[in-house]
A and B are shown apart, each in its own frame.
Chain A
Amino acid sequence: MAETAAPKVAPDERLVRVGPLAGLLTRPDIGAFLGAVAVFFAFGYFARSVNWIGDPGIAAGWTDQAAQYGIVAVPVALLMIGGEFDLSAGVMIGSSGLLLGYLTTFKHMNVWPAMVLVLVFGLVIGLINGLTVVRTRLPSFIVTLATFFVLQGVNAAGTLKLTGQTAIQDIDTARGFNSARRIFAGDLTHYGFKVKVLWWIGITLTGAWLLAKTRFGNWIYSAGGEPNAARNVGVPVARTKIALFMMTSTIASLMGIIEALELRSMQAKEGIGLEFIFIICAVVGGCLLTGGFGSVIGTLFGAAMLGMVQLGIIDAQWDSNWTFTFQGGILFAAVMLNTLIRSRAQKAR
């Protein structure tokens, strides 16, 4: 208040005092948060026979599943806020895990340098996606759909040619496997919580910080919200988008590494289908399909919700085929709720 030289000071008479609750209800991530709480307590009831609420071992299960979704959902959300999609984010998990398997079991590389090569592979695929979208001005939906199908074929044909099977096995025979597994895919000391969960939280917090507190975050919002305006005031929109594509496929590669180390083998069809789960997490988390608006913290709650549904349905002893129906229902409800919240955020302020 002290910084204004103008006569006007302190509370503006045109500002209706909003209570903390009403203020909270304009945040983009609040819908996902409330949804996650609701799903948690719903399974607290339906899965009460396994002590859903009280048993940390149960929580270890669904957080593992949520991390599986949530890690890659973070860059997918940022990319979506930046106005683009990446449909190759799922298949990249498979490609990267297979590449790690190939380098370690067929080329006899140590796991650590092999991981570096896999991450470089992620950067390159992201660069290709990004450059193609920026240069051709084609919708990223189409460009990355093409990448998706190309990689899907490579994964299947390559694995079959190498192994004569549909998976690369015995990744745990590689040098450096144990030390790498401890850091990327090990267990924490208590209750069987996975290290992966820490990666999920860490990547989420980094993404949220990047979006809210850095110059790059400002550029992401503007690149998705009104790219022309952003360009006219000097935002390097193309570079911002390319960086986002590179982040997305590199973190998908990280996820591929985590899975390969965790499972000790990699299926050729791994990751396929997850690209839509990531988008659901982001949308549930408050990201707008048209870009320019969204939340990384909300995406974390979206992933938590989907993780809970996945395991809750099993723990409640329902037919797990209902999972998809639930995911669809959550997506629909979340979109409705978020639309409501957003219109409040824009009008009621």
Chain B
Amino acid sequence: MTMAHLLEADHISKYYGNIVALNDISTYVDAGEVTCILGDNGAGKSSFIKILSGVHQADKGRLLVEGEEVHFTSPRDARAAGIATVYQDLAMVPLMSIWRNFFLGAEPRKGFGPLQWFDSGKAKSIVRRELSEMGIDIRDPDQAVGTLSGGERQSVAIARAVYFGARVLILDEPTSALGVKQAGVVLKYILQARERGVAVIFITHNPHHAYPVGDRFVILNRGQSLGAFEKSEIDRQELVRLMAGGKELAELEHELEAIKVEV
């Protein structure tokens, strides 16, 4: 028996009615490590991280934090355990301002006794600082999130999770709407979080984003695990090939060639 992992999923299965979204998935992440979860659309990546972050409960299998089995009944429990998530749909309220969204569910308060209020001054200055560190310089923290560009919105969600993810940071396709520079910043963030001793779970379907930052790669396909690899066990080409399912990729390249010729 080795040391207990910081966060471990043990033989997790998840069903939506008669749909098998996940079948017997196990992985783990330790402090100062990045576990990447890769897979095609509908592979079950988001379902998996929703179990880790308390949105859904697993139908089979166990969730362990530092070796202790935990039962997250709501995202609040996961957040209390130091697990913060950037959801694929970002979990932002469009009509609310940036600073209200940033601290939603974890509002800083001041006051005395039962008379407590939301410290909005502190909230706004933290938001400004965290976002400018990310290279996103917001015009006005009072701007409604619904009016931000897709990438800006994603950046706010990432900055929020980085700020609150004390122990585990989960990112569900955080780079999908980002420009090259911002995507680079996010990858840098993942590495910085790892340096700080945060455990990171990074979901993507881009192996070129995953490979440089990951320590471990779990490949999902139609709810099944195609295998879990330590970085030392796999190289970039192999990862790309596995993800796309070798033969299919070759076919795809062939088709693309054909299109090019026509044009």
Interface residues, chain A, with chain B CB atoms under 8 Å away? 3-6, 8, 12, 14-15, 209, 213-215, 217-219, 221-222, 225-226, 228-236, 288, 292-293, 345-347, 349
Contacts and interface: CB of A to CB of B under 8 A. Distances in A.
B129 interface: yes
Contacts of A4: 128-129, 132
A28 to B, nearest CB: 10
A345 B146 CA distance: 11
A215 B107 contact: yes
Given A3-B128, A8-B132, A221 B96 contact: yes
A12 B93 CA distance: 25
Interface of B: 53, 55, 74-76, 79, 85, 87, 89-96, 100, 103-107, 109, 116-118, 120, 125, 128-129, 132-133, 137, 139-140, 142-144, 146-147
A233 B55 CA distance: 9
A218 B139 contact: no
B118 A214 contact: yes
A12 B92 CA distance: 24
Nearest to A223: B93
B132 A234 contact: no
Contacts of B92: 226, 229
17 contacts: A4-B128, A8-B132, A8-B137, A14-B139, A218-B100, A218-B103, A222-B93, A222-B104, A222-B105, A229-B93, A232-B53, A232-B55, A233-B91, A234-B75, A292-B93, A293-B95, A347-B147
A345 B94 CA distance: 13
Contacts of B53: 232
B129 A222 contact: no
Contact of B75 (A3, A209, A231): A231
A212 B120 CA distance: 9
Closest 4 A/B residue pairs (Cβ):
A234-B105, A6-B132, A234-B76, A225-B93
Contacts, number: 114
Contacts of A8: 132, 137
Given A221-B93, A230-B105, A293-B95, 12 more contacts: A8-B132, A12-B139, A15-B139, A214-B116, A218-B96, A221-B96, A229-B92, A232-B55, A232-B75, A235-B76, A288-B95, A347-B147
Contact of B89 (A5, A221, A229, A349): A229
A302 B21 CA distance: 50
B140 A15 contact: yes
A234 B96 contact: no
A345 B142 CA distance: 11
B230 to A, nearest CB: 31
Contact of A226 (B74, B93, B139, B143): B93
B130 to A, nearest CB: 10
Given A4-B132, A6-B132, A349 B147 contact: yes
Contacts of B91: 226, 228-230, 232-233
Contacts of B128: 3-4
Contacts of B129: 3-6
